[in-house]
Chain A
Amino acid sequence: MDDINKTKLKKASEHGIQAPLALLAELSHRCPLQCPYCSNPVQLEKKTGELTTDEWKSVVDQAVEMGMHQIHLSGGEPTVRQDLEDIVEHCTEKGLYTNLITSGVLLNLDRLKKLEKLGLEHVQLSFQDTDTENADRIGGFKGGHEKKLEVAKWVREVDLPLTCNCVVHRQNIDNLENFIQMALDLDAERVEIAQVQYYGWALKNRAAFIPTPEQLDHATEIVEKARIDLKGKLVIDYVIPDYYAKHPKNCMGGWGRRFLNMNPKGDVLPCHAAETIPHLKFDNVREKSLKWIWENSEAFNLYRGTDWMPDPCKSCDRKEIDWGGCRCQAMALTGDAKNTDPACSISPLHSEIFSMAAEEARRAPPEFIYRRYGVRFNSPI
């Protein structure tokens, strides 16, 4: 990145980029679960650094003024915040479409009723497996799965729409059909079947999670059949691990083009994994406005558009489709964030990395390296 001339960086408006569509708000990195594929950074933010209620309300005001449509209240576990109700109420008042992304294990029926009354519009509930014992082992939280099933029923009882978020990998992929059936049984509107994406914690645990190409093909067949069988009954969103794809995913719809992400202390990031790129300097809402940051922040402008691209991206006719793939994955796997995402079959490193991952998938899975926040939440297992 040293050879990108920072003084010539174009701003959002100079790329013709409008205001972002949605804000992913990580209210806290605290979480009672310890999933070894957690999307949070390996360096977790402490409670004392978190934005206050009023600071989040100001962020919501700014997001609405900019024209954002949706807010995803996420974490960590967003329900650890006792002011979640205040934040939801404020989002409703301002007209943001409000979505809660939760593990569910800290919720009770009364709190859900209250959140629904205050205007919460949708709940995404995470599941680690359909097998109780394995689900609890993956999440590192005893009793978690049973509680989630109960929470899912409460969500529907208070007439909130439900999405089941199912992260799949080699240690639960054989239960894929059960995941889909579970979503139907729980009266969910939608199920997200997302293969683990390998950054941060998940990259540390890649050998434990990466499926074989055969497992992945089988999973894709199941999803495609279910989509036909369940059309009009259940929406199925499916994310494959792009190690096994021909083209990389157009991560976030392009760097700094459509979405932004805020971490618990108010740093504004182009995506939730952006902190894995060590040279990025993030601006913070305690110091600058959200609008200023979207337009001017160096962390956004470094990889906006196509000017920063080296070959093979620069001369590729898909450069404004894939936007070079994922910067965080390029950083993690090649050591340079502006390299072509090695998930792309044209990347010079694709076959080396692909065969390493495929080799990992053929060996016995190693023990998990759990995401640990603090000991006080952790149930012994």
Chain B
Amino acid sequence: MTDILKINDNIIPKFPKHVKFRFNKARKEWVILAPERLVKLDPIAVEILQLVDGEKTVKIIASELSKKFNAPEETILTDVKEMLQDLSDKGFIQENG
């Protein structure tokens, strides 16, 4: 594992190889799966993580969400960074690069 990541606007987040962001058809819910770990997600987290593709920066993700939900970008950016930082601290998000 790498050193602790500090999420900022220009980081390109991605899921580590062993972490899967998946839709469980039977339960009709998105979850994060990792070794002996299961993370249930709220609808906002799902919207953010669907944009985590290993190409978009944190800022681009926030900008796309701000357009989609017609909400102020600054507020969304704060929320996105907070959520990704939390997931990164738990080892579910890393930086692409």
Contacts and interface: CB of A to CB of B under 8 A. Distances in A.
Interface in B12-32: 16-18, 20, 22, 24-27, 31
A22 B31 CA distance: 13
A67 B29 CA distance: 10
A69 B38 contact: yes
A69 B18 contact: no
Contacts of A235: 91
A284 interface: no
B64 interface: no
Given A21-B38, A189-B35, A233 B1 contact: yes
Contact of B31 (A69, A121, A231): A69
B48 interface: no
Contacts of B31: 69
Contacts of B18: 121-122, 160-161, 189
B87 interface: no
A83 interface: no
Interface in A177-192: 189-190
B35 A124 contact: yes
A163 B35 contact: yes
B4 interface: yes
Max count, chain B CB within 10 A of own CB: residue among A69, A95, A121: A69
B42 interface: no
Nearest to A124: B35
A97 B20 contact: yes
A19 interface: yes
A interface, how many residues as a size bin? Answer: 20 to 34
A70 interface: yes
B26 A19 contact: yes
A19 B17 CA distance: 27
Contacts of A17: none
A189 B26 contact: no
Nearest to A18: B27
B35 A99 contact: yes
Contact of A69 (B16, B17, B33, B91): B33
B36 A99 contact: yes
A169 to B, nearest CB: 22
Given A99-B36, A159-B17, A161-B35, A66 B26 contact: yes
Q: How large is the interface on B (under 10, 10 to 19, 20 to 34, 35 or more residues)?
A: 20 to 34
A19 B35 CA distance: 19
B53 interface: no
Contacts of B26: 19, 64-67
Contacts of B55: none
A232 interface: yes
Q: Secondary structure of the B side of the interface? A: loop
Interface centre among B4, B17, B89 (most CB of A within 10 A): B17
B38 to A, nearest CB: 6
Contact of B89 (A69, A122, A190, A232): A232
B4 A95 contact: no
Given A69-B31, A69-B38, A122-B18, A189 B91 contact: yes
The residue among B4, B22, B25, B35 with the most chain A CB atoms within 10 A of its own CB is B35
B4 A231 contact: yes
Contacts of A42: none
A251 interface: no
A326 B13 CA distance: 41
Contacts of B34: 97, 122
A232 B2 CA distance: 7
A204 to B, nearest CB: 28
Nearest to A160: B18
Contact of B1 (A66, A95, A189): A189
Contacts of B27: 19, 67
28 contacts: A21-B38, A64-B25, A64-B26, A69-B24, A69-B38, A95-B24, A97-B20, A97-B33, A97-B34, A99-B36, A121-B18, A121-B20, A121-B35, A122-B34, A160-B18, A161-B35, A189-B1, A189-B35, A231-B4, A232-B3, A232-B4, A232-B89, A232-B91, A233-B1, A233-B3, A234-B1, A235-B91, A237-B36
What 10 A-B pairs have minimum CB-CB distances, sorted nearest first?
A67-B26, A161-B18, A232-B4, A97-B33, A67-B27, A122-B35, A233-B1, A122-B18, A69-B38, A69-B33
Interface of A: 19, 21-22, 64-67, 69-70, 95, 97, 99, 121-122, 124, 159-161, 163, 189-190, 231-235, 237
